[in-house]
């Protein structure tokens, strides 16, 4: 190689190359989906209870809660995505996925170590931050390698289906892990969370060991930053479209309280329902019609959902907006992901997936503080107007990619 990196040219994929049914990829991807589900289930158990542990048991304020929860995204962007992509491409996903699962076990061990210093809150807190940093490194090893492995097994013509099914496994894991973590914490305290985080990932190591995976050929690979340069356009579109999704996770409870609607649990149900229904019904379209074309339409749907939340005066309209946001974002992530895969050379798909998802990390990490400042100045509802504007900007990028 001459040290330069050039976009990979691909022909338009037709139904002959990419079967219309999303379910055609389900069984081949099932072992990888199980690995992703179990790994993210283990990590997700701490999400609803770690803030309570820091605030109630360690006696620290909300600023410290925000820092410990945000440490994962910083570690993912700065270290995890790059490292996971290099290992997946260089040594193979079959090495990277178990490494990530063992890393999750390590997170549980650090959680457990922090409990020995509860009477010294500063030291215990620093160990919790270290655990979150390790989470931000372990998580990319699992998801980046699983995506790369799935594309290698099914072929790039099915990359949209791979992203769709693996994404649903991740989404379902977080949805199931949060209530399970609350149940464990209520009965066994944070020690129960620590033990569960250590033991649960071990369940899938045998499954991963049984999946066929070839060691990559020893070829020279472009630097990570060069691969990121190839996927920067779909990545930027993902960043803009992710803000609205992140805004619901971060601020919808405050919006519900402000408007006197009570609990916001229904909004999360509609958000998740829209996400899953869209993936199941039309998750095959990015492979069939092209990622940018599908993303352009679906991000417009997301923008409509964000506008509806901003404008809604009654609860069911806001819930409908959440469902449209979830449905649009589900296909947008797939569509832009297909564009990222098509732009990367085959030997760097792990790096491409790592770089692509890092753009989502960026949006998720910035949505909290930026949305909080906006809410402080213009009200909580303004966060969703900003989400709609970001989604519309993403539509413009999708159309640009399609025309190019």
pLDDT, residue 203, reads: 84
pLDDT, residue 174, reads: 81
Judge contact between 172 and 113, C-beta under 8 A: no
Please check whether residues 31 and 56 belong to one and the same domain.
yes
Please check whether residues 113 and 193 belong to one and the same domain.
yes
Please check whether residues 175 and 282 belong to one and the same domain.
no
Please check whether residues 45 and 193 belong to one and the same domain.
yes
Q: From CA 295, how far away is CA 238, in angstroms rounded?
A: 10
Q: From CA 126, how far away is CA 208, in angstroms rounded?
A: 33
Domain that holds residue 104: 24-209
* Domain's final residue, options 176, 209, 242: 209
Whichever domain contains 166, its CATH number is 1.20.1250.20
Please check whether residues 236 and 352 belong to one and the same domain.
yes
Binned average pLDDT, 10 residues per bin, the chain of 404 residues:
41 43 84 93 87 87 79 88 87 91 96 94 95 94 91 88 90 84 91 94 84 68 80 95 87 87 83 91 92 96 97 95 96 95 84 88 83 88 95 97 84
Please check whether residues 171 and 133 belong to one and the same domain.
yes
Please check whether residues 190 and 254 belong to one and the same domain.
no
Please check whether residues 141 and 260 belong to one and the same domain.
no
Give Dmax over CA atoms of the chain in angstroms.
64
Q: How far is CA 150 from CA 62, 81, 282, 361, in A?
A: 40, 17, 19, 21
In a domain, 19, yes or no: no
Report CA 175 to chain centroid distance, whole Å.
13
pLDDT, residue 15, reads: 36
What are 372's two structure tokens?
């909080």
Please check whether residues 80 and 183 belong to one and the same domain.
yes
Task: Centre a 10 Å sphere on the Cβ of residue 273 and count the other Cβ atoms it contains.
Answer: 15
- pTM exceeding the 0.75 threshold for the entire prediction: yes
Q: For the CA atoms of 55, 45, 172, 232, what is the dihedral angle to 10 degrees?
A: 60
Burial 274-303 (b: 16+ CB within 10 A, else e): bbbebbeebbbbbbbbbbbbbbbbbbbbbb
- Which of the 8 DSSP states describes residue 88? H
């Amino acid at each position: 190689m001459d040290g330069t990196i050039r976009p990979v040219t691909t022909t338009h994929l037709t139904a002959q190359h990419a079967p219309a049914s999303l379910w055609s990829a389900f069984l081949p991807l099932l072992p990888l989906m199980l690995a992703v589900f179990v790994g993210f289930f283990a990590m997700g158990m701490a999400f609803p209870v770690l803030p309570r542990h820091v605030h109630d048991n360690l006696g620290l304020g909300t600023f410290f809660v925000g820092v410990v929860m945000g440490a994962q995204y910083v570690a993912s962007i700065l270290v995890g995505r790059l490292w996971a992509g290099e290992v997946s491409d260089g040594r193979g996903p079959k090495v990277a996925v178990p490494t990530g699962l063992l890393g999750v076990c390590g997170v549980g061990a650090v959680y457990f170590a922090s409990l020995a210093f509860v009477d010294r809150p500063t030291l215990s807190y620093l160990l919790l931050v270290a655990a979150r940093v390790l989470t931000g490194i372990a998580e990319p090893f699992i998801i980046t390698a699983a995506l790369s492995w799935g594309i290698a097994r099914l072929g790039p013509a099915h990359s949209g289906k791979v992203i769709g099914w693996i994404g649903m496994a991740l989404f379902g894991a977080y949805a199931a892990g949060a209530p399970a973590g609350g149940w464990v914490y209520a009965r066994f305290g944070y020690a129960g969370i620590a033990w569960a985080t250590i033991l649960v990932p071990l369940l899938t190591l045998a499954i991963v060991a049984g999946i066929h995976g070839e060691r990559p050929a020893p070829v020279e690979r472009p630097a990570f930053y060069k691969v990121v340069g190839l996927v920067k356009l779909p990545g930027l579109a993902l960043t803009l479209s992710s803000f609205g999704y992140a805004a619901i996770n971060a601020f919808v409870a405050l919006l519900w309280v402000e408007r006197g609607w009570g609990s916001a649990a229904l909004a999360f149900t509609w958000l998740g329902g829209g996400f899953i229904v869209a993936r199941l019904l039309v998750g095959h379209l990015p492979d069939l019609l092209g990622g940018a074309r599908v993303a352009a339409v679906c991000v417009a749907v997301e923008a409509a959902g964000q506008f509806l939340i901003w404008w809604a005066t009654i609860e069911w309209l806001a819930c409908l907006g959440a469902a449209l946001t979830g449905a649009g974002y589900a296909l947008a992530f797939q569509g832009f992901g297909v564009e990222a895969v098509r732009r990367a050379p085959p030997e760097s798909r792990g790096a491409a997936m790592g770089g692509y998802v890092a753009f989502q990390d960026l949006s998720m990490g910035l949505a909290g503080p930026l949305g909080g400042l906006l809410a402080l100045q213009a009200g909580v509802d303004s966060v969703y107007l900003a989400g709609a504007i970001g989604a519309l900007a993403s539509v413009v990028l999708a159309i640009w990619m399609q025309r190019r």
